[in-house]
Amino acid sequence: MRTESMPRPRRAAPRLLGHGLTVLLAAAALLPRVARSDDAEGVREIRVERVKPRKEKYPTLRFLKANVDFIRAREDRLSEKPADRKGGAESIDPRFLAYRELLARIMAGRDSIARLDDQRQKEQLLASVTELGTLEQQLDQMDRQLSDQRTRLAVLEKDFTGDQRTSLMVVLSGYPAGAAIASVGIQLEDGGVLSVPLSDDQRTTLRQGGVVQMFHGLIEPREQVVSVILNGERWPSGDTGYVSLDPARDRLTVLKLDLSTVQVDPGAPSIQASTWVHDAGAPPIGS
Amino acid sequence: MTHIERRPARGLTSRRAIGLAGLALALLGFASPPAALAGHPAPFAAKAGVELAQNAARSWAADAQLIYVENDDDLDDSGAAVRWGYLFYSASLDQARAYSVRNDKIVQAENLAMKFQAPPLAQNWMDSGAALQAADRQVGHAFRQKHQGHLSAMLLMRGAFQDADPDPTTWTLVYTAPHSASLFVMVDASAGKVRRTWRG
């Protein structure tokens, strides 16, 4: 069974907002959405094709390509010229400097909460009225920490709301009865293969109706073909299917791959795939 | 005494309804641009596609910068084209990637096979329509009249054709004619002035 992840090219690191398998059983933001997605409006069933769909090619930048040697030579000459004026540094947005401080405070807050929690557990053994008073003070302090946290999150949300980027989340659901899947891979048109091995726990999660996130990253807002690759004992060299996606600009598009319908013989094309735009906003602060 | 007779309202006969529907369709046909009727994508000026291309480029590389713009389809008299190409360069990837935009959609995305590193374009460049007006006013219109020529390309870049002052972002317009050398007109993309013309 192949379980290793194939390396992504250089650009993978900045693009991936978070990858690897994350069980979303507790992720209330998405799971209810997935659970009701079958009958929700906007959910579109998509075929997983055996043969990669052909796309029309459009020639682009024809003048540049025809004259690139000349233009490049001109540009190269420019880059050799020394600058005749001093470069002045621009002042940094003070908000960006404040983020570091905010993060430090968040970490400090987390440490003190953990310390207080630990202390509180010990103190529960000593049931005296005085200690209960101290406990109340500590709970107040924790409450204050949470309040500060809310304020800091509000600052971050204020600065970044509206900066939604076009992104894709790929989630897995279900598990086939008659075929063992060792790993699932995806490949975007302009990227390398991301192969994600399924652990025993994750397989159990999928069997029990859970959802597993396998990819969450930025994607170009254009019609494109995503390759889905199944690996397992019955597909030692991988079995590939293709889904066509047109991610909505500045929105999060979710691609759900339901593995429960997978059969050995058709392989990847027997995956039941569906897609929708995830409209739910960020959960309220403090919830 | 005048007696006004109120006639009962009558429903439309099917013949009348068909006639009115036909009239409405005919009027709609006159009101709509031919391109939209035929389902053809509408021409647009270069700036209109930048935002979408930039959005895609930021997904490709966080440090992507727009370095070059060129019409990917024929230009009309207002400096608009059905498709424009936008080229971005990422220093971290040391790679250039092109997006071709038509009808507010990216119809082609590809990495440039050859190495091409140009300085990023200025933010406030004038749109293709204004650049064409400036070029036409000074030399372009006369060239077209004299040589039965037409505008074949508009290129927005920085530095390549201007040795003396390479920093400004400029439009280069290429007029071609069947029996004459092409005319190149370089327009400053911020001031809107023709900086240089040459034949080649």
Contact A60 B72 (CB under 8 A): yes
Task: Specify if B126 maps to a domain.
Answer: yes
Inform me whether the C-beta atom of residue B170 falls under 8 Å from chain A C-beta atoms. no
With bands split at pLDDT 50, 70 and 90, how would you rate the model's confidence at A49?
Answer: very high
Q: What is the pLDDT of residues B128-182, one digit of tens each?
A: 999 999 999 999 999 999 999 999 999 999 977 776 777 899 999 999 999 999 9
The two tokens of residue B15 are 């013949």
Domain carrying residue B24: 11-40
Question: What is the DSSP code string of B150-192?
Answer: EEEEEEEEESTT-SSS--SEEEEEEEEETTEEEEEEEEETTT-
pTM of the model: 0.69
d(CA B167, CA A129): 77
Q: What is the pLDDT of residues B50-68, one digit of tens each?
A: 999 999 999 999 999 999 9
Task: Specify if B4 maps to a domain.
Answer: no
Inform me whether the C-beta atom of residue A85 falls under 8 Å from chain B C-beta atoms. no
Nearest chain A alpha carbon to B99: A60
Residue % of chain A over a pLDDT of 90:
41
Give the ipTM of the model, two decimals please: 0.78
Helices (H) and strands (E) in chain A, counts: 7, 10
d(CA B145, CA B141): 6
d(CA A24, CA A29): 9
Question: What does pLDDT average to over chain A?
Answer: 79
A175 and A136 inside one domain: no
B24 and B91 inside one domain: no
The two tokens of residue A229 are 């690759």
B11: three-class secondary structure by DSSP: coil
Contact A166 B59 (CB under 8 A): yes
Interface probe for A, chosen from B54, B59, B69, B99 (most Cβ of A below 10 Å), is: B59
pLDDT, greater one: A137 or B31: A137
Domain boundary among the residues A135, A160, A185 is at A160
Cβ atoms B72, B59 nearer than 8 A:
no
B112 and B140 inside one domain: yes
Query: Which of A59-63, A118-122, A124-128 ranks highest by mean pLDDT?
Result: A59-63
Say which of A59, A68, A222 has its CB closest to residue B116. Answer: A68
Task: Specify if B6 maps to a domain.
Answer: no
Domain boundary among the residues A110, A134, A160 is at A160
Q: Rounded to a whole number, what is the distance in Å from the CA of A222 to chain B's nearest CA?
A: 5
Angle between helices A94-123 and A129-160 (to 10 degrees): 160
Task: Specify if A60 maps to a domain.
Answer: no
Contact B98 A60 (CB under 8 A): yes
Inform me whether the C-beta atom of residue B85 falls under 8 Å from chain A C-beta atoms. yes
User: What is the distance of C-alpha A182 from the center of its chain?
Assistant: 21
Domain boundary among the residues A127, A160, A193 is at A160
Specify which residues A242 forms β-bridges with. Answer: A49, A227
A237 and A175 inside one domain: yes
Q: DSSP class of residue A37?
A: G
A168 and A156 inside one domain: no
B31 and B103 inside one domain: no
Beta carbons within 8 Å of B75's beta carbon, 6+ residues apart: B81, B128, B132, B151, B152, B153, B154
Specify which residues B191 forms β-bridges with. Answer: none
Cβ atoms A141, A111 nearer than 8 A:
no
Cβ atoms A226, A192 nearer than 8 A:
no
Contact A165 B59 (CB under 8 A): yes
Q: Phi/psi at A128 (nearest 5 deg)?
A: -120, 155
A102: three-class secondary structure by DSSP: helix
